[in-house]
Copies of this chain bind each other. A is one copy, B any other.
Amino acid sequence: MRRDAPAAEIKTVEQKLHDLGFKTGRLEGTEITLIGVYGDITTLPKGEIEELPGVEQLIPISRAYKRVAQKGVPGKPIFQTVKIGQVVCGGDELAFIAGPCSVESEAQIMEAAQLVKEGGGDALRGGVVKYRSSPYSGWEGLGASSAEALKKGLQLIVKAGKAFGLPTVVEILDQADVPLYEDTGVDCLQIGEPNSKNQALLNRLRDTPLPVIHKRGNSLDTEAYLLWVERIMSAGKENVILCERGVAAGNRYTRNTLDVGSIAAFRYQLSGQPIAVDASHGTGIRDLVHPGTLSGIMAGASVVLVEAHPNPLIAKSDGHQGLFREQLVALVKAARAAWTLRRELDREYLPTSVLEKAYFERMPADRKRFFGK
């Protein structure tokens, strides 16, 4: 509704919608009033509604993620780059982030950092407080017991990262810990899948200067996820990286169902933000991380997130999906080759928008040739 629309006009619009069989909800912002229309809006006589007094605009919900949405003109999208330390994500090079599920000890994270560096990775990941589906797992990360322990854990991974020239990516679970992460020198905050819709945490991250990797919740539709990402970005923050890590489906063999169709939709249609693929969680099976990662890159990911460990057989968490050193080396090499190929092929990618006009003009002739009319 227009800013100055009187209540009577608002009421008239709602009455009209109810008469047409729609349910409505009213959202009163400080400046405007939104009337939400629920139900099968395919029957909505938009022209008729728009002519009612006071109506400003009909906004489909899909425009609601305006900051995370793709900018530019059709055929010439603008892509946003996000820096993690000095590593540029979403630019000309693939960004490869690897590391253990959790920081387990100084020796372990130092060796892990060395492994990532020597393996050709760009950044080091590692959890200091861990998500666990069972409260009895016995291991919730080095930093789970106290603020002091958390600080020490963060310092360990930052130290390891610095020793090998790798910026660090660490998951954050509690909004109260943001200053600690910032002060300790962590280079990027990660929001885990279970927190994908944690409103208090997302609101808090609006204010951090650190880049954020926001993992997609496993039951969020492609566009619904972008609305949750928009929550972080809505006040102006720009350095956010999308991350597909598998959705819930009927599959029982793989732990999750890696949704490369959404990666492609983000890259080619919906968003200009960098997209990470996490095939470790996306498949949950160590030997499928390699093909899953390559698959995600070809779909449109420019950032890779994988779990790797100096010896996954003794990892305290998620060891079954952590890569061995040799596998990491092979994957980094393969991923960069896949990236190079996709960059080349992308130059010849042809969206419908650049072709459609010619075919439209051919329609009468084609119809005559095919159908004789």
Contacts and interface: CB of A to CB of B under 8 A. Distances in A.
A130 to B, nearest CB: 9
A373 B7 contact: yes
Contacts of A288: 261, 264-265, 268-269
A297 interface: yes
Contact of A314 (B249, B291, B312, B370): B370
A292 interface: yes
A281 to B, nearest CB: 11
Given A294-B298, A324-B355, A359-B311, A261 B282 contact: yes
Given A176-B176, A314-B26, A330-B348, A60 B42 contact: yes
Given A41-B42, A42-B41, A362-B311, A250 B228 contact: no
Contacts of A299: 291-292, 294-295
A251 B134 CA distance: 18
Nearest to A256: B261
Contact of A234 (B51, B136, B311): B136
B265 A15 contact: no
Given A257-B261, A286-B352, A290-B349, A104 B250 contact: no
Contacts of A2: none
A81 interface: no
Given A107-B369, A227-B133, A25 B320 contact: yes
B64 A136 contact: yes
A318 interface: yes
A287 B38 CA distance: 14
Given A291-B299, A363-B313, A249 B250 contact: yes
Contacts of A370: 104-105, 107-108, 111, 310, 314
Interface stretch (A27-35, A157-165, A178-186): A27-35
A122 to B, nearest CB: 20
B43 A60 contact: yes
Contacts of A27: 137-139, 316-317
Nearest to A232: B135
A197 interface: yes
Interface in A136-181: 136-139, 173-176
A312 B199 contact: no
Nearest to A34: B138
A341 interface: yes
Contacts of A26: 313-316, 319
Interface string A43-62: 11111101100000010111
Contacts of A250: 219-221, 247-250
9 tightest A-B contacts by CB?
A47-B47, A194-B197, A29-B138, A219-B219, A222-B253, A42-B60, A219-B248, A264-B291, A294-B298
